[in-house]
Structure 1
């Protein structure tokens, strides 16, 4: 089940992975995570002109980026998974500011092309789908797409080592008479791969009325590993990166 974001798109077309996750995505997305990542974007990309968002999913942060970029700023939203892209386009179609400013690309991160230099590349909740060999291509491609001073932005990965994660409940939101949460756990597959099992649960009061489970094989990437890989493509740490955020930038031209 190991693969890239593109193979996750293929799995979703088969009714697996994000095909199960997609209908719940917005309502189970943890609010503290949403707030902290939006705050990171506010610090790092406010006033930018051109941004690529890789793996935007349903557009949770695409909408935030629209508010942070300069008035004529442009976003390239790269989303290969059909079910997520459907939700993304639906969200964007209801935002007047998106009509002239957001281009949705259906290719994967290793195939998509952007024809102008970028101020930032945002990669939230997606790099775990790429093997070390694929990440080398990913970093080379998108570091090269940055203008001098441009930033590559992602969250620090969890866990930092391949370790089993016991089951825990992540609270979600409520829609009408139903509330939603996620039961998450992970098992070790090998020295740099874990398999997450995510069970999305629907409750009516204290009655569990539905649950669906999706599995995702995810590569473990420590901050130290990430630093070595990004330094190897010529990026340097961004001094304004908040805690828990990996932000690396292309050095300014001398």
Structure 2
């Protein structure tokens, strides 16, 4: 099993993901309304702490959902969320695996794959698109988003978010540097500041990120048999064609 990229930073991921998911809500919900849950479960790839999983459950009441997440620390938050709602708990199945190490169900009513594309190398993406095309009900959506950078480049240190909870302020930021072979290395910093503004804790983690441009992604999806468009906030909606 691959190492958990979020073993050190996992406690901060949910904190810094909420605003992004609020922004994604409209385009994702719009796409989810095209799902066909009576033809198969909705697959959430790289479900993380479950913010997208909950959005699927809310948008498609009664739908069966399969949430795939390799990180134990992120899954712990996801599982805890599922226990909070009696109507949600029996219809969401959590799979402890990366999508490249697991075979999806034979039929799917829709797929959500947000904030995870850069974890897959190009050949893994192509294999995934082919597998999903074979399983997705006609007209059912594959929903995925593009994330910067769109090309191998340097991104200078930037603070992405700052959130105060009680007497502590949590800051998240990062920088990217070229790593060759259509890959950058993201170095992420997570700081906890006390009420005096001094840094009490700092966690720095680095991981590879496979860069994919909008054109490359649309070409990959077309080659796999999808019709796809890039919409608001670089949310891509693809549907299989015969």
So what's the TM-score if we normalise by structure 1? 0.87
C-alpha distance in structure 1 between counterparts of 2:233 and 2:11, whole Å? 31
- Pick closer, same or farther for the CA change 1:47–1:246 going to 2, 3 Å: closer
C-alpha distance in structure 2 between counterparts of 1:79 and 1:62, whole Å? 11
Alignment of 1:104 with 2:94, yes or no, is: yes
Decide whether the 8 Å contact of 1:27 with 1:172 is kept in 2.
no
Which of 105-114 and 88-97 deviates more?
A: 105-114
Which of 90-99 and 214-223 deviates more?
A: 90-99
Q: How many pairs align? A: 237
Decide whether the 8 Å contact of 1:51 with 1:121 is kept in 2.
yes
C-alpha distance in structure 2 between counterparts of 1:100 and 1:145, whole Å? 23
1:19 aligns with 7
Alignment of 1:56 with 2:47, yes or no, is: yes
2:119 aligns with 129
So what's the TM-score if we normalise by structure 2? 0.91
**What are the equivalent positions in structure 2 for 1:1-254 lying under 5 Å apart?**
10-12=2-4, 17-29=5-17, 31=19, 33-46=20-33, 48=35, 49=37, 50-69=41-60, 71-205=61-195, 206-238=197-229, 241-251=231-241
1:30-70 C-alpha deviation (Å, 9 max, x unpaired) = 61x2112222221111374231000111111111111001x
C-alpha distance in structure 2 between counterparts of 1:167 and 1:207, whole Å? 19
C-alpha distance in structure 2 between counterparts of 1:172 and 1:142, whole Å? 37
Decide whether the 8 Å contact of 1:29 with 1:172 is kept in 2.
no
- Structure 2 gap segments, 5+ residues each: none
- Pick closer, same or farther for the CA change 1:47–1:157 going to 2, 3 Å: closer
- Structure 1 gap segments, 5+ residues each: 1-5
**Over aligned residue pairs, what C-alpha RMSD do you find?**
1.8
C-alpha distance in structure 2 between counterparts of 1:74 and 1:139, whole Å? 21
